[in-house]
Amino acid sequence: MKIHLKVWRQPDSKSQGKLEEYTVTNANPSMSFIELLDVLNEQLITNNLEPVAFDSDCGEGICGSCGMMIDGVAHGEQKQTAASQIHLRSIQDGDTITVEPWRAKAFPLVKDLVGDRAALDRIVAAGGYVSVNTGAAPDANSLPVNKENSDRAFDYAACIGCGACVAACPNASASLFTAAKVSHLALLPQGDPERKQRVLDMTAQMATEGFGDCSNHGECTAVCPKGIPLDTISMMRREYIKAMF
């Protein structure tokens, strides 16, 4: 396969970046999109050119490191699929693909396709955990959890923190990410004692990091590789109101 690429190149956050065009002539339909970038880099290194910087990934859609805009869509157009899970068999021979980094004030660009997403880690550090020392793991049935709550908590906990929701949102909001972290703990008995302080601390940190607010566009859930539903944000808002009053 022959694939034409337009890749964003920017040496650092202070320099001006631009799209540069490349062609990979020996692409294999079985390759993932990230492997295609590896082949491109081998080609660039062979020609004594600077390789494209991008985050390493697990290839299984569980680490969130592969985040990038593919043809203007976070993680590409395939639904509930991380960039590392896209394979070239879904791309036509001779296609031209544009690849860019996440663009958000809270995700300062490091180099090329690499952005600093540490702001999401700081939101979790503000309260996305259970601080009580519970000792060894209890038996599975010793603490009953309503099935509806356990199912919803599992869905929310599937968030991998990739930042696609931020990249897709017109306001660069981290509401879906923060809501997933707040909500899955609020639904479980282990997270209940700290639920009020948790939502106040995490939403405050989200604002401090410079993320925008949610205005219900729904782009976040449309590009989420784990399909985190939009009602997650509604739950976070209810948790916030209850914590305030």
Decide: residue 119, CB within 10 A, 0-12 exposed, 13-18 middle, 19+ buried: buried
Within-domain flag for 138? no
Write the CA distances from 119 to 7, 122, 229, integer angstroms: 25, 5, 22
**Strand partners for 73:** 70
Within-domain flag for 164? yes
Number of domains forming the structure of the chain: 2
Within-domain flag for 60? yes
Q: For residues 137 and 49, what is the distance between their CA atoms, to the nearest angstrom?
A: 52
- Per-residue pLDDT reduced to its tens digit, 4-36: 999 999 999 899 999 999 999 999 999 999 999
3-state secondary structure of 106: coil
Confidence check: pLDDT of 244 > 70: yes
Q: Are 71 and 125 found together in one domain?
A: no
Q: Are 20 and 124 found together in one domain?
A: no
Q: For residues 235 and 231, what is the distance between their CA atoms, to the nearest angstrom?
A: 6
Instruction: At 164, list the tokens.
Output: 């696609």
pTM value is 0.92
Pick 15 or 134 by higher pLDDT.
Answer: 15
**Strand partners for 244:** none
Q: For residues 237 and 195, what is the distance between their CA atoms, to the nearest angstrom?
A: 12
**Strand partners for 209:** none
- For 24, the domain range is 3-110
**Strand partners for 5:** 22, 97
Q: What pLDDT, on a 0 to 100 scale, did the predictor assign at position 114?
A: 96
Q: Are 13 and 100 found together in one domain?
A: yes
Q: What is the CATH number of the domain that holds 18?
A: 3.10.20.30
Q: For residues 54 and 43, what is the distance between their CA atoms, to the nearest angstrom?
A: 16
pLDDT band at 222 (very low <50, low <70, confident <90, very high): very high
Instruction: At 70, list the tokens.
Output: 């593919």
pLDDT band at 134 (very low <50, low <70, confident <90, very high): low
Q: Are 77 and 190 found together in one domain?
A: no
Q: For residues 228 and 18, what is the distance between their CA atoms, to the nearest angstrom?
A: 33
- Per-residue pLDDT reduced to its tens digit, 160-212: 999 999 999 999 999 999 999 999 999 998 899 999 999 999 999 999 999 99
Within-domain flag for 139? no
Q: Are 106 and 211 found together in one domain?
A: no
